[in-house]
Structure 1
Amino acid sequence: MKKIFSIAKVLLLTSTMAWGQTEMPWTLQRCIDQAIQYNLQMKRQELLTQSTEQDHRQSKLDLLPNLNGSIDHQLGAGRVLDRGTYKWVNTNVSQGDLGMQSEVNLFNGLQGMNSMKMNKANYQMSMEDLEAMENNITIQVMTDYLDLLRNEELVGVAEIKVEVTVQQVERMERLVEVGNEPQGRLLELKAQHSAAKLAYTRAVNTRDITKLNLMHVMNITDVKGFVIETPILPDPSTVEILELDSVFQYALANLPQVKSKEYGVEAMERYVALQKGQRSPRLFARGLIYSNYSNQLINPLDPDPSNPTMDYPTSTQIKDNRYMQASMGLVIPIFNRWRVQTDIKKAKIELQDAEYQYDDAVLILQKTLQQYHTEAMAAMDNYNSAVEAVANSDEA
């Protein structure tokens, strides 16, 4: 795995082609950017992250008091209740009321705080999932990119073998014509040439399939003109393979797929605390301001209320009839058909499931790193053996 990342780093550093020209060879970085930008799963995960961010923001705002206003205006005719005088009258009445009310939770078993912390953990988990998805796409592009480079080299090797066998067949045909070689030897070389052509065809097909796989990851469907850049790769003998334990410890502390599960456990712990908070009494404070008006109201400053002559403006009525109230209340849960206890038990089950998901993520990470480390060590041994074989062949 370390070897793959080292090679990929060189690919990124040696990329010098222009980005905006589709006819230019595709660099590794450009392939990665293309795959990430047009991946629909990434776009959906980004939307999910934005949604969890809004949940987190709203849970913080839920700790604030609410404030609501109301206004009501009525027109009545006949025998109606004048809400200004609280008398039944036979007349036309134009009246109304208006007010504002606010309420705030003083204590509810810390449900508000636990909800905020739970949504924060969910938001962090969603961000880690987004980063993990981006890393997976990057690794997939890197793997397909390197596979395509290798298969293109194999096509070149197979093509050279075909050319060599063609030359051998032509040379043998001339020798057979003059009688210096038997016909059977020519047939053997023709068979080798056919085998070389078959190997070349298979190499080309494998390369084309690998190219198609890379293009599919990048969400590109037009295969015409798609060429990747061939960079200068580092000497494999200079690549250092780190100890497995150090790689595992680093991955355990930093990889987003593991951190996501950690936040998942944290979110479920807060969810359990949130459900337990339903057992607690709810203490709240409430305040309101209210007033009313009516065209039947008489100005209290009028010298003769039985024969009123003074106007009584609506604004003055609202000011004179103003009423304010502040109150506190306590709601004590006594029996809710065992719903709270059921919610707590279900939350604990979800917490245990989140812990299992974390353990599973760690186990998968450990197995994956063991496999990559073993493959890297085996590849290094194969390379060293091949280098030694070539050196011995040159000396011979």
Structure 2
Amino acid sequence: MQLQRIQLKWSVVALMLLVGHSSFGQTEPATDSTTNGWSLEQCVRYALENNLSIKSQDLSLKVQENTYRASQYSLLPSLSADVSQSTTIGRAVDPTTYTFVDKTVMNGNGSISANVVLFNGWQKQNTIKKNRYDLLATSSEFEKLKNDISLNITAAYLQILLDEELYRVSEDQLTLTQQQVAQTRKLVDAGKVVLGNLLDIQAQEASEELQLVNSKNKLALSNLQLIQLLDLTDTTFRIAQPALDGFDIALVTSDYNSVYPIAEGYLPQIKTAQFRVEGAKTAISIAQGGYYPQLTLGASYGSSYSDNRDQVTVVNGVPVSKSYPFFDQLQDNKNLGVYFRLSIPIFSGFSTRYNVSNSKANYHRSVIALQVEKNNLYKEIQQASSDAVASYNRYTASNKSVETLNQAFKYNENRFNVGLITSLEYNTAKNKLAKAQSDLLQARYEYIFKTKIMDFYRGNPIKL
């Protein structure tokens, strides 16, 4: 079973590695000077800095943050200015004198107005709360995306390590068979064994040559998969060899009931669902605000000008008209207004009622979604714990099988070299050992992966 299939369904699981912050530069990290390859930490860090899905989600997070900030500033008064210039020809009303004139008149008006909502059923305040929960939920989704990418990178990385081990096993098996071909040819030439034995062992050699080619192709495909996950163009990419020889193979016994509260407390998918519940609850209050009246306070300041208007002064008891300067008119025509506006909802086609009903339904749906996430997490931890124990048992059984079959093979090899058994019996013993070695390698890497997952659920930093 390929390692990448082991737990890719566990999208909720991720490896919390030491990674850097997001960057838009496609700069490849330096390789390890001792191994001349990329470590797992370097691969994950590079992916988190350059993955396009992460960059897109980061922009979505910025949009949600802007939405939250905008809702906060909506509590401030709105301020606007208006300036207009008009020309009337013929009979019209002069807006500065409110008299009819029958000539071409130019008028100008300017005003500044401000208004603020004093009360609207707390809709604005609740909208701020909801947008904050939406921002927190989006942030948690962002973290989950990074976790999922880290998991995919890790699975692909371990798959390469496994395929490299299997390739080396294939090489060793072919080398051993080639030695037996040479030994059998000498026995045939000496007349100690029949030619059929040589033909059988040569057929085995051809089969193992094909197996070696297949292993090499599989390793190349595994490398290609990781290259594609990293969006690299460097075909010379290779990974570093971690010191897994010192990995402690010991039975992992854990009470998943004690692990679950730890995972529930920090995993982003649970936090996302919790924030969605709080946001949906606040949405009910927003919808219910539609039942309340809205009180608005407004103020305006303005003035006007008309070239038709004359300034009249009294000189020696006689009214005298003269031109009315622009700025004098603005000073004399200024006006200031303050108003309160109360809007009372009476009937809106039951839209508010159904908005409230829909908000309540969405809230109950979000509560169910949260419980589903918790149930799934509990099942995943339960399964991970069981898989860790099962993989340990498989590893110990495979290790014992390899030891036994290795002794049996050496015994049969010695008998074959002196012609006491046929090539068919020799090949059977050799193939059993090769399969056991392959099973041991797969069990070992599967066990490593399972234990890393359990470490993650406990909230421990994980790296190879």
TM-score by length of 2: 0.76
**Residues in 2 aligned to 1:101 and 1:9: alpha-carbon distance in whole angstroms:** 54
Following superposition, the deviation at residue 236 of structure 1 comes to: 2.7
Where structure 1 has 5 or more consecutive residues not aligned to the other structure, the ranges are 2-7, 13-17
Match of 1:228 among 211, 234, 239: 239
- One-letter amino acid matched to 1:225: T
2:87 maps to 1:75: yes
Residue-by-residue CA offset, 1:18-71 (whole Å, 9 max, x unaligned): 925799522222322332334332222122111111111111111111111111
**Residues in 1 aligned to 2:75 and 2:360: alpha-carbon distance in whole angstroms:** 25
Q: 1:91 and 1:306, CA in 2 relative to 1: closer, same or farther beyond 3 A?
A: farther
2:149 maps to 1:137: yes
Q: Report the equivalent of 2:280.
A: 268
Tell me the secondary structure at the aligned position of residue 196 of structure 1.
helix
Tell me the secondary structure at the aligned position of residue 84 of structure 1.
coil
Q: Report the equivalent of 1:173.
A: 185
Tell me the secondary structure at the aligned position of residue 302 of structure 2.
strand
Kindly indicate whether the alpha-carbon contact (under 8 Å) linking 2:16 and 2:147 is maintained by their aligned counterparts in 1: no
**Residues in 1 aligned to 2:189 and 2:389: alpha-carbon distance in whole angstroms:** 53
* Cα RMSD after superposing both structures: 3.0
**Residues in 2 aligned to 1:249 and 1:123: alpha-carbon distance in whole angstroms:** 24
Kindly indicate whether the alpha-carbon contact (under 8 Å) linking 2:111 and 2:302 is maintained by their aligned counterparts in 1: yes
Match of 2:321 among 299, 308, 311: 308
Q: Report the equivalent of 1:325.
A: 337
**Residues in 1 aligned to 2:115 and 2:195: alpha-carbon distance in whole angstroms:** 104
Match of 1:367 among 347, 372, 379: 379
Following superposition, the deviation at residue 106 of structure 1 comes to: 1.0
- One-letter amino acid matched to 1:217: L
2:159 maps to 1:147: yes
Tell me the secondary structure at the aligned position of residue 287 of structure 1.
strand
Tell me the secondary structure at the aligned position of residue 179 of structure 1.
coil
**Residues in 2 aligned to 1:126 and 1:247: alpha-carbon distance in whole angstroms:** 26
Q: Percent identity?
A: 27
Q: Work out the number of aligned pairs and report it.
A: 385
**Residues in 2 aligned to 1:320 and 1:238: alpha-carbon distance in whole angstroms:** 93
Following superposition, the deviation at residue 356 of structure 1 comes to: 2.2
Following superposition, the deviation at residue 105 of structure 1 comes to: 1.1
**Residues in 1 aligned to 2:374 and 2:363: alpha-carbon distance in whole angstroms:** 17
Tell me the secondary structure at the aligned position of residue 237 of structure 1.
coil
Match of 1:19 among 29, 32, 47: 29
Q: 1:395 and 1:152, CA in 2 relative to 1: closer, same or farther beyond 3 A?
A: closer
**Residues in 1 aligned to 2:217 and 2:373: alpha-carbon distance in whole angstroms:** 37
- One-letter amino acid matched to 1:235: F
Instruction: Out of 380-389 and 282-291, give the one that drifted further.
Output: 380-389
Q: 1:61 and 1:75, CA in 2 relative to 1: closer, same or farther beyond 3 A?
A: same
**Residues in 2 aligned to 1:323 and 1:239: alpha-carbon distance in whole angstroms:** 86
Q: Report the equivalent of 2:68.
A: 56
Tell me the secondary structure at the aligned position of residue 81 of structure 1.
strand
Q: 1:343 and 1:352, CA in 2 relative to 1: closer, same or farther beyond 3 A?
A: same
- One-letter amino acid matched to 2:66: Q
Q: Report the equivalent of 1:205.
A: 217
Match of 1:112 among 124, 137, 141: 124
**Residues in 2 aligned to 1:238 and 1:10: alpha-carbon distance in whole angstroms:** 23
Residue-by-residue CA offset, 1:116-147 (whole Å, 9 max, x unaligned): 11111111111111110001000110111011
Where structure 2 has 5 or more consecutive residues not aligned to the other structure, the ranges are 1-5, 7-14, 20-27, 409-464
Kindly indicate whether the alpha-carbon contact (under 8 Å) linking 2:251 and 2:389 is maintained by their aligned counterparts in 1: no
